């Protein structure tokens, strides 16, 4: 790794180490607080390569690692650094992409320019999310990802089973089909030609696999529920939030305090409408951004509330009576439920005696975060304006 010379009298300086991570290699750039580039390098992610990278930055003990995509491709290297006691912040790929365009004037990518862009974001931006070594959340993430995989396998196998039964049974099977029901249907099939015999055999194998997935999913849900309850969260008290949904919220959100308001949280969940007004016409459109996994959790929550006589169902019906379409009413309900989830998680973090729910003085008991009533002090405003109360990036103040 080549490094620029520094003045001996100046002493060690605080630096940001921007990193563009890959599976088998990483590219880094060391940047001072005045955006002076102090060094660059490319290293393998093997044991020897990782040790060489650590040695190359040893002359800057006051350092923070800015890594792009700590929840994705950068997760493996971030975990190793955290285990070694290093300070790590997560740089969203969108921010580094913007920095790259503004710096270079074009969007062409190389590992070196990506590392430079990440370092710039880490140096300039306040409020970047610090990565913490939370073993409880790490266990939850592993299990909730496995539960999602089981659900995807179930959907795929059910689709294959329906396709086979349509060829074996006139009219096929009903839409919502359990393994036991499919086994009963298959028991009455008596194929005679080789193709039908092969289809019946494969269908029987799929049913066996589905039964195994049911058992694994049931065990996974039980384990997730126990772990979620152990965190002390009230998310499971909300109507429509199950163990998988609560675990996904805890894993993806992390520290709820990084969202300065419910409007910012709504933007992150993709439930805040986007202002699309023009001239005298005022309208909003659906946001297709945000965290889609959390958006899916909120969609499931809304769907469950609509199937039951809940406050969410009453709110949805009122919006329909006001002239909203079914989709518009559903979007409004999801926006309100996003606020409910935000207050619940905030209350979990700040349940301090002498303050109202959510830890905010003056909040009335009617705005209890544990209440799943969507009418409670919620907002349908579009994307929020710039935040003014973000903390500065750790280690850069």
How many CB atoms neighbour CB 240 within 10 A? 21
> Under 8 Å CB-to-CB from 210, ≥6 apart: which residues?
154, 157, 158, 161, 179, 182
List pLDDT tens digits, range 165-222: 999 999 888 888 999 999 999 999 898 899 999 999 999 999 999 999 999 999 999 9
Closest to 255 in 3D by CA, of 142, 389, 131, 367: 131
Contact (CB, 8 A) for 396 and 65 = no
Output the pLDDT for position 175: 87
Q: With pLDDT > 90 as the criterion, what percentage of the chain qualifies? A: 56
Tell me which of 60 and 93 has the higher pLDDT. 60
Q: Which two tokens stand for residue 191?
A: 């194929």
Contact (CB, 8 A) for 81 and 88 = yes
Q: Which two tokens stand for residue 22?
A: 């890959």
Handedness of CA 369, 384, 107, 42 (dihedral sign): negative
Output the pLDDT for position 355: 34
Q: What is the DSSP letter of 281?
A: B
Contact (CB, 8 A) for 137 and 143 = no
Asked if pLDDT for residue 38 goes beyond 70, the answer is yes
Give pTM, 2 decimals: 0.73
Element (H, E) at 15: strand 15-21
Contact (CB, 8 A) for 115 and 66 = no
Tell me which of 35 and 273 has the higher pLDDT. 35
Output the pLDDT for position 257: 86
In this prediction, residues 361-366 reach a mean pLDDT of: 36
List pLDDT tens digits, range 238-263: 999 999 999 999 999 888 888 889 99
How many CB atoms neighbour CB 292 within 10 A? 12
Which residues are 30's β-sheet partners?
A: 17, 39
In this prediction, residues 313-339 reach a mean pLDDT of: 91
Closest to 306 in 3D by CA, of 295, 262, 298: 298
In this prediction, residues 293-317 reach a mean pLDDT of: 93
Query: Taking the chain, what is the end-to-end CA distance rounded to the nearest angstrom?
Result: 27
Domain boundaries, the chain: 2-130, 135-231, 237-367
List pLDDT tens digits, range 334-348: 999 999 999 999 999
Closest to 232 in 3D by CA, of 394, 150, 347: 347
In this prediction, residues 30-50 reach a mean pLDDT of: 93
Class of domain 2-130: alpha beta
- Integer Rg of the chain from CA: 26
Q: Which residue has the tokens 């303050």?
A: 355
Output the pLDDT for position 107: 64
Q: Which residue has the tokens 């790259």?
A: 100
- In sequence order, what DSSP letters do the residues of 180-194 get, joined into one string? HHHHHHHHT----SH
d(CA 105, CA 304): 48
Confidence category of residue 78, pLDDT binned at 50, 70, 90? very high
d(CA 329, CA 180): 37
Which residues are 20's β-sheet partners?
A: 27
């Amino acid at each position: 790794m080549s490094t620029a010379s520094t003045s001996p009298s100046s002493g060690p300086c605080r630096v940001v180490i921007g990193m563009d991570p890959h599976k088998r290699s990483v590219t880094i750039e060391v940047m001072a607080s005045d955006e002076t580039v102090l060094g660059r390098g490319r290293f393998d992610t093997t044991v020897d390569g990782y040790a060489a990278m650590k040695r190359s930055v040893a002359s800057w003990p006051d350092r923070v690692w800015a890594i792009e995509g700590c929840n994705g491709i950068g997760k493996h290297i971030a975990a190793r650094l955290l285990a070694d006691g290093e300070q790590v912040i997560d740089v969203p790929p969108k921010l580094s992409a913007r920095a790259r365009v503004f710096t270079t004037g074009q969007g062409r990518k190389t590992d070196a320019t990506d590392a430079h862009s990440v370092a710039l974001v880490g140096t300039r931006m306040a409020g970047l999310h610090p990565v913490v070594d939370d073993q409880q959340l790490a266990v939850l993430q592993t299990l909730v990802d496995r539960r999602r995989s089981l659900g995807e396998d179930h959907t795929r196998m059910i689709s294959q089973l329906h396709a086979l039964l349509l060829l074996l049974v006139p009219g096929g099977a009903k839409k919502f089909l359990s393994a036991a029901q499919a086994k009963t249907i298959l028991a009455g099939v008596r194929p005679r030609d080789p193709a039908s015999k092969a289809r019946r055999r494969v269908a029987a194998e799929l049913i066996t696999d589905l039964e195994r997935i049911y058992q694994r999913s049931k065990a996974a849900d039980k384990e997730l529920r126990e772990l979620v309850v152990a965190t002390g969260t009230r998310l499971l008290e909300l109507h429509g939030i199950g163990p998988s949904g609560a675990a996904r919220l805890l894993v993806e959100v992390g520290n709820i305090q990084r969202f300065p308001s419910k409007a910012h949280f709504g933007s992150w969940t993709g439930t805040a409408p986007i202002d699309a007004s023009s001239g005298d016409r005022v309208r909003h459109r659906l946001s297709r951004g945000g965290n889609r996994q959390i958006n899916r959790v909120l969609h499931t929550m809304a769907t469950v509330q609509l199937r039951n006589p809940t406050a969410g169902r009453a709110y949805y019906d009122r919006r329909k009576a006001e002239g909203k379409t079914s989709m518009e009413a559903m979007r409004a309900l999801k926006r309100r439920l996003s606020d409910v989830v935000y207050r619940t998680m905030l209350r979990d973090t700040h349940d301090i005696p002498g303050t109202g729910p959510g830890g905010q003085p003056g909040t009335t008991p009617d705005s209890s975060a544990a209440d799943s009533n969507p009418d409670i002090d919620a907002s349908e405003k579009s994307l929020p304006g710039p935040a003014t109360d973000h903390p500065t990036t750790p280690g850069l103040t």
